[in-house]
Each structure stands twice: as C-alpha cells, then as structure tokens.
C-alpha cells in the first residue's frame, strides 16, 4: 500500500467536462486521471460526464479494494535443546498473504 490507479474515460459523445469521485473524499476534473489510495478500504468510484449543452451522464465506474500490506512474522519452539533438535515453525503473518518462502539458513 499505497495503491496507484489509472482511470480511463470511456464516455461516448462530445464530452467536455468530467467529474470523478474516487470515493475517498478526493475528486478530479481530468478526463483520464490517476489517483493514489493511501488507506486500506473499499471505495466506490463514479464519473459524471457532461457535454457543452449541459447534458449529464453519471456512471458508477466500479469498486476499488485497497488491501492492508502484509506483515511477515513467525513463532518457533523449542528455542534450544540437544542435537538433533526438531523445531516447529508457525506462520503468524497478517494481511493478504498469497505466498510464503521460508529460509532456515542451513
């Protein structure tokens, strides 16, 4: 985290103004804005596009899910003993973990 997102306007017609709402209190009037989400959460994004004649079209562009950054952690037991020593390692990581790589240094 943070999460950078590039938005692309796909409005049809002669659009002259854009009003993006990123769902986190921030907005943009650019046609194809980039936005950075800095806090984990779920955000509903919407776009209101208008033409020179005042015709407005609003669309909900979708949901952005910003996940909490993973934190690697583990526990082990026992911490000492005679050889050969069998040690059990247990993952205690938090966050959206999708892969693990253990290195025992031996």
**C-beta neighbour count of 16 within 10 angstroms:** 12
pLDDT of residue 35: 98
pLDDT, tens digit (0-9, with 9 covering 90-100), for 10-44: 988 889 999 999 999 999 999 999 999 999 999 99
pLDDT, tens digit (0-9, with 9 covering 90-100), for 44-94: 999 999 998 888 887 877 899 998 889 999 999 999 999 999 999 999 999
Helix H segments across the chain?
none
**Class of the CATH domain delimited by 3-66:** mainly beta
Spatial distance between the Cα atoms of 95 and 25, rounded to a whole number of angstroms: 25
25 torsion bin: left (phi>0), alpha (psi -120 to 50), beta (else): left
């Amino acid at each position: 985290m943070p999460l950078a997102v590039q938005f692309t306007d796909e409005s049809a017609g002669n659009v002259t103004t854009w009003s993006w709402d990123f769902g986190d209190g921030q907005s943009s009037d650019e046609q194809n804005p980039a936005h950075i989400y800095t806090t984990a959460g779920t955000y509903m994004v919407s776009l209101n596009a208008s033409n020179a004649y005042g015709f407005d079209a609003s669309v909900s562009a979708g949901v952005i899910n910003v996940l909490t950054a993973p934190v690697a952690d583990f526990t082990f037991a026992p911490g000492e003993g005679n050889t050969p020593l069998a040690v059990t390692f247990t993952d205690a990581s938090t966050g959206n973990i999708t892969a693990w790589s253990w290195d025992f240094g031996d």
